[in-house]
Amino acid sequence: MHISEGVLSPPVLLAGGILSFIGLVFGLKNLKTEKIPEIAVLSSTFFVASLIHIPIGPTSAHLVLNGIIGLLLGWSAFPAIFLGLLLQALLFQFGGFTTLGVNTFAMAFPPVVLGYIFKKFLHKNKYFLTFSVSFLAGFLSIIFSAILIGTALYFTEKSFLPVIIALLSAHFPIAIIEGFITGFVVAYLLKVKPEVVI
C-alpha cells in the first residue's frame, strides 16, 4: 500500500503532509512514557509485516496490521506507523520521502478512528464479541486505507482508475486475513495481558 516516489501531484503530497503532521502532533501529545516500549514493538511489527509486498502499478499490496496498532495505541499509531514507513523508505526504498505524508495518513488515520469506535466493545469475558469487533477493526482499517491511497491517486490523475480498482481488489483478501489476525491477537492479549488493550 506504499505509493512510490514521483507518482503523486504536489497538491496531494502537500495535503497528505499536512494531515500527517496534524496526526503526529496529536500522537506525540497523547504519548505516555509507559507506552513507548509497546509503540516500539508495534512499529517493528508493522515494519516487518509490510516488507513483503506485491507491486500493483505505482503502489503495492502487503500485510499492514494497522488495525491492531489503532486498537492498542489510538493516536500514538501515527508516530508508530510514521517511524516504520520512514525506515522502509530509508533502508529499502519502499514508498518514498515525498510520499511519506500521504502513506502515513492513509495507513494511520483509519485504524485510529476505528480503534476509538470499536475499543469500547472489547471485553475479556466476551470472547466472541471481542473477536468480532477486532476482526472488523482489522478488516475495515485495510479497506479504508486502500480507499485513501486510491483517493490520492485519483486526485493526482484520473487515469489511475484501473490501478485503483486493482488496488482495492487486491486488498480485499488481505483485509480478511488482517481481520482474523487482529481478532485473534486482540482477544488473546485481552485474556492474558488486558492492561495492554484497555
State the average pLDDT over residues 165-184: 90
pLDDT of 14 > 70? The answer is yes
State the average pLDDT over residues 21-27: 95
Confidence of residue 95 (pLDDT cuts 50, 70, 90): confident
- The answer to whether residue 3 is domain-embedded is no
- The answer to whether residue 88 is domain-embedded is yes
In whole numbers, what is the pLDDT of the chain averaged over residues?
89
For residue 156, the domain's CATH number is 1.10.1760.20
Q: Which domain holds residue 104?
A: 10-197
Which residue did the predictor score with more confidence, 5 or 86? 86
H or E segment and range at residue 55: strand 54-56
- The answer to whether residue 1 is domain-embedded is no
- The answer to whether residue 32 is domain-embedded is yes
Number of domains forming the structure of the chain: 1
**Burial (CB count within 10 angstroms: exposed 0-12, middle 13-18, buried 19+), residue 58:** buried
- The answer to whether residue 58 is domain-embedded is yes
- The answer to whether residue 185 is domain-embedded is yes
pLDDT score, position 26? 94
Q: What is the pTM of this model?
A: 0.90
Q: Scanning the structure block, which residue is given the C-alpha cell 508493522?
A: 46
pLDDT of 60 > 90? The answer is no
The DSSP 8-state label assigned to residue 60 in this structure reads E
- The answer to whether residue 83 is domain-embedded is yes
Q: Distances from the Cα of 36 to the Cαs of 80, 136, 164, 184, in angstroms?
A: 10, 26, 35, 23
